[in-house]
Structure 1
Amino acid sequence: MIKLPPLPYAYEALEPTVSATTMRTHHDKHHAKYVDVTNQLAVEKGLAGASLEEIIAQAEAQGERKLLNNAGQAWNHAFFWTCMSPQGGQPAGELARLAQEAFGGLDGLRARFVQVGADHFASGWVWLVVEDGRLAVVDTHDGETLAHKPQAPLLVCDLWEHAYYLDYKQDRKGFLERWFDNVANWSFVEAQLAAAQGRQAPWRFGLAA
């Protein structure tokens, strides 16, 4: 059985960028439901006791779409909580160098991240990844996850309406701009970059960052 991970900060810690009301609903209702359904389906498919990463890999290999969608959402949300911090911060060191190389600096990275997220049609996720040694911004639809893909995920923002609608209504771009500026966890991004470069272990579901 996988467990719903607690938030790494208080519900109100990300205010005013993300309200405590949004965080309570998002974590305690939406994320909890994905975890519950994943556990139910994993038992039915003989995967009880497997890690979430193993469940995702097996669900994809076996074409179990419902399990894959729920397990992917469980993984994505846990990663998303860790991608936010009340301290925010700025890219530094190797991360800043790669951002300069790929996007012309932090402003270019911000513009690309916000554009891809704002232009994404319907539900999904916008990611900063390492691909072939370079930074890139990609989007995924619905419950698709990068937990087991060649791109190494560094940062993600949730594009489903339940992530922002209570606070921003239909203004997804405004949400993405404030999210990137105020709560993106650059210390975590740097740790994920180190993992992508083989300097430490990557984040895994159920393990502290």
Structure 2
Amino acid sequence: MPVTMTRRTTLALGAAAAASTLFKPHVARAAAPFEQPPLPYGEDALAPQISARTVGLHYGKHHAGYYTKLNELVPNTPYADMTLEEVVKQSKDNNDNAIFNQAGQAWNHEFYWQQFAGGPKQPNATLEEAATRDFGGVTAMNEAIVKEAGNVFGTGWVWLLQDGDKLAVRGYQDAGNPLAEGLKPLMGIDVWEHAYYLDYENRRADHVKTLLAERVNWAWVGEQLAS
């Protein structure tokens, strides 16, 4: 599919080198007003697994919209002085669903884009050993991720996470994530339809399988486990 260079694409390409080293989703980020970080690559960098058109709409419309709404909601609240990670955790604990939905989705997508940077790469020894211990191997782990993605009803995410000393796979509705539960996220696949419908139509499982096999930077995922 031809790629149309937009101002956003140009800025993303120019910022890619810096973003790849500075943007770490598990590191606390500045408090409100919250700003969407640039993509760590151009909009066409994930093709053909994710088309430039899908990335443009997903990042430029959906992801950006969560920051806009969050910044409308947090002024004159205790959340205004928190980092994004703190807002995710506190709003979940406080059952502030309107805040959590926007903050959770903003954070989820930051993690989502970063895990593809530099990929695809194979799992490092740390992740491979953990996958073998807890799932019987990397292939079995990926099969568990695909299965759980199919179990998420409607909109949501499927996450590979660290729970204590073990790896686990869990599906979450809507903006849900392991961070809000005090767990360590390692890899997350967006199974909202806007993440895949233009490229895969209703074939969610194919979307997830393709990303796991051909797009995720598993070495980066292993670094999250080791950190």
Same fold (TM over 0.5): yes
> Which amino acid is the alignment partner of residue 207 of structure 2?
F
Distance in structure 2 (CA, Å) of the matches to 1:84 and 1:49: 30
Contact 1:75-1:147 at 8 Å conserved across structures: no
Q: 2:181 aligns with which of 149, 159, 177?
A: 149
Q: How does 1:111-122 map to 2 (within 5 A)?
A: 111-122=143-154
Q: SS where residue 181 of structure 2 aligns?
A: coil
My pick for the range that moved more, 179-188 or 20-29, is: 179-188
94 and 46 in structure 1: CA distance in 2 versus 1, 3 angstrom threshold: closer
Letter aligned with residue 5 of structure 1: P
Give identity over the alignment, percent: 36
State the alpha-carbon separation in 1 of the partners of residues 163 and 93 from structure 2: 23
**Bigger share in helix:** 2
Aligned counterpart, 2:80: 48
CA shift, 1:138, in A, is 0.6
TM-superposed deviation, 1:46 = 4.0
Say if 2:223 is the partner of 1:191. yes
1:12 aligns with 2:44: yes
Q: Find the residue that maps to 2:185 and give its secondary structure.
A: strand
Q: 1:104 to 1:61 in 2, by over 3 A?
A: closer
When the two chains are superposed, the root-mean-square deviation of aligned CA atoms in Å is: 1.3
Distance 1:59 1:116 in 2: 26
Give yes or no for contact 1:37–1:70 (8 Å, CA) kept in 2.
yes
Q: Which of 185, 200, 211 is 1:179 aligned to?
A: 211
**Comparing both chains, which one has the higher relative contact order based on Cα–Cα distances under 8 Å and sequence gaps of 6 or more?**
1
CA distance in 2, matches of 1:62, 1:154: 25
Report the equivalent of 2:136: 104
Answering whether residue 195 of structure 2 is matched by residue 166 of structure 1, we say no
Q: Does the Cα contact within 8 Å between 2:161 and 2:178 map onto a contact in 1?
A: no
What are the Cα deviations for residues 14-73 of structure 1, in whole angstroms up to 9, with x where unaligned? Answer: 100000000000000000110111111111424324210122233233332101111101
Q: Are the equivalent residues in 2 in contact too, given 1:14–1:86 (CA < 8 A)?
A: no
How many residue pairs get matched? 195
